[in-house]
């Protein structure tokens, strides 16, 4: 962690305008100047990723797709177990982040890790059905997030696992077993994140619960670098594809 690298990231997150006509162009405009410094800052901002990976646990022989996988930082959470997986796809629309993921895989000689520049709402693996699909802080950046969930379920085997960790806000009137956020939380975070085209939603979690058989859900709050007084809500979710 260095102050210069943080300042660069904060400039990209808070000040530099995001340009581009398509979603892919806007992502590249946002990420191209911060790809190399991305991991260090996001380690502090994007909480709960390692916990989700631990909860999903060892999956020997599995094919695992990390949707919106960016720099492939999540690959580190597998530890030595990564070698037991049959295949790992890191799918992302931002070429500059995927370049970091590709060199990470090459450096570690993970020859079964493939980076794919593609849209998470449409891409399907050529070999057919897969065992696990994860989204870590990517659903909030995918405009058609419902299509991304549908696409993930379409590629999963019956009983296959979907894991999500992301920012969110609650509905005004959530289901009884879910946390309820007050008005200020529900209003502030969507406005705060919208500057970076990140859209914490009250609807992702209900849709996941509707489409999948819920295995595990944890609703939490995380510190935000340089904002000591606030905590942003995030959730971790594991569901199975209904047969």
Residue ranges in contact with ligand SAM by CB under 6 A: 27, 42, 46, 49, 68-70, 73-74, 91-94, 97, 119-121, 136-138, 141-142
> Which pair of structure tokens corresponds to residue 13?
């997150």
Q: Which CB, 141 or 205, lies closer to ligand SAM?
A: 141
Q: Which CB, 41 or 160, lies closer to ligand SAM?
A: 41
Instruction: Provide the minimum distance between the beta carbon of 120 and ligand SAM in the complex, in angstroms, as a whole number.
Output: 4
Q: Which CB, 65 or 212, lies closer to ligand SAM?
A: 65
Instruction: Provide the minimum distance between the beta carbon of 182 and ligand SAM in the complex, in angstroms, as a whole number.
Output: 25
Compute CA distances 69 → 88, 179, 215, whole Å.
11, 27, 22
Instruction: Provide the minimum distance between the beta carbon of 68 and ligand SAM in the complex, in angstroms, as a whole number.
Output: 3
Q: Which CB, 126 or 184, lies closer to ligand SAM?
A: 126
Q: Which CB, 142 or 205, lies closer to ligand SAM?
A: 142
Counting other chains too, the contacts that 218-224 makes at CB distance below 8 Å and 24 or more residues apart are: 218/48, 218/51, 219/178, 219/179, 220/47, 220/48, 222/45, 222/47, 222/48, 223/44, 223/47, 224/45
Sheet strands (E) in the chain: 63-67, 87-92, 113-117, 130-136, 156-167, 212-224, 227-241
Bridge partner list, 87: 63
Instruction: Provide the minimum distance between the beta carbon of 217 and ligand SAM in the complex, in angstroms, as a whole number.
Output: 19
Helix (H, G, I), strand (E, B) or coil at 47: coil
Instruction: Provide the minimum distance between the beta carbon of 205 and ligand SAM in the complex, in angstroms, as a whole number.
Output: 17
Q: What one-character DSSP code corresponds to residue 172? A: S
């Amino acid at each position: 962690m260095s102050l210069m690298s943080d300042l660069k990231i904060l400039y990209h997150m808070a000040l530099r305008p995001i340009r581009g006509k398509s979603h892919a162009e806007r992502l590249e405009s946002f990420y191209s100047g911060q790809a190399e410094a991305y991991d260090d800052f996001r380690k502090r901002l994007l909480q709960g990723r390692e916990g989700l990976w631990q909860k999903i646990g060892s999956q020997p022989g599995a094919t695992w797709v990390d949707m919106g996988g960016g720099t492939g930082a999540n690959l580190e959470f597998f530890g030595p177990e990564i070698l037991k997986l049959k295949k790992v796809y890191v799918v992302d629309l931002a070429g500059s982040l995927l370049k970091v993921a590709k060199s990470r895989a090459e450096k570690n000689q993970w020859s079964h890790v493939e980076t794919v520049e593609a849209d998470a709402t449409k891409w399907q693996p050529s070999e057919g059905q897969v065992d696990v699909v994860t989204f870590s802080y990517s659903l909030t950046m995918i405009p058609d997030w419902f299509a991304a969930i549908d696409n993930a379920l379409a590629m999963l085997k019956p009983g296959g696992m979907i894991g999500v960790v992301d920012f969110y806000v609650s509905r005004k009137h959530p289901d009884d077993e879910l946390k309820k956020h007050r008005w200020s939380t529900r209003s502030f975070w969507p406005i705060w994140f919208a500057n970076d085209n990140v859209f914490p939603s009250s609807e992702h979690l209900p849709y996941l619960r509707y489409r999948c058989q819920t295995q595990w859900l944890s609703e939490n709050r995380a510190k935000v670098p340089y904002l000591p007084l606030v905590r942003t809500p995030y959730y971790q979710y594991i569901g199975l594809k209904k047969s």
